[in-house]
Amino acid sequence: MPAETKPHIILIGFPKSGTSTIHNALIKSGITAAHWMVDDKPVGKLIYDGWFETGDPFHHFSGIEAITQLDFCNHPIKGAPLLSLWPNLDISLLIAIRKMYPKCKFILNYRLPAKTANSISRWHNLQDRITKSDCPGLPIGRGTSDEIERWITSHVEAIKYVFNGDKYFLNLDITSDNARAELEGFLGREIVWWGVANKNKRR
């Protein structure tokens, strides 16, 4: 793959909404992808570093075709302050990416917001980290399951409004029986694997 290859597929939905499943599907189908961390650096930080330092959000992603999880809400180093980065929710940044990369394919990975909120509440201490963070559309201190569900619903509606009619945008319900076929049609690539990755084991 040429070194100048830049991402042309990005996921702009929420964690616990199929990011790992889609990542695995792409990797197993021969598509290079970055997911959450690259070389021990948060993907979200690399995106913002590229954007503010060079004007190109994809500056640090040469040779990568897809970015499958942009958000980072964690402690990068033990004892360090919580780092909260959500470029997937930063609509102004997404519009800048669209202008710079007009054929970049945006995938809104989606499942019912109530189910996503429920999964977040069961995924380690993610809900607590979100509550302690200042996220786009969700101020610090907000983070009950009802508030997270409303946050997700609002973001989904905003994304669909902004990218309505954009042929390089796909609203992909990962729970749909047609999800794999829709992804194949949108990417123009065969998806050789489809299943459930990084399944939440807590009930």
pLDDT in tens, 70-94: 999 999 988 899 999 999 999 999 9
Delimit the domains of the chain by residue range. 9-187
Q: For residues 104 and 97, is the Cβ–Cβ distance under 8 A? A: yes
pLDDT in tens, 32-48: 999 999 999 999 999 99
Residue 177 is predicted with a pLDDT of 97
Q: What is the pTM of this model?
A: 0.94
Residue ranges of the chain with per-residue pLDDT less than 50: 1-3
Q: Kindly report the CATH number that applies to the domain delimited by 9-187.
A: 3.40.50.300
The 10 Å CB-count burial string (b at 16+, else e) for 74-89 is beeeeeeeebbbbbbb
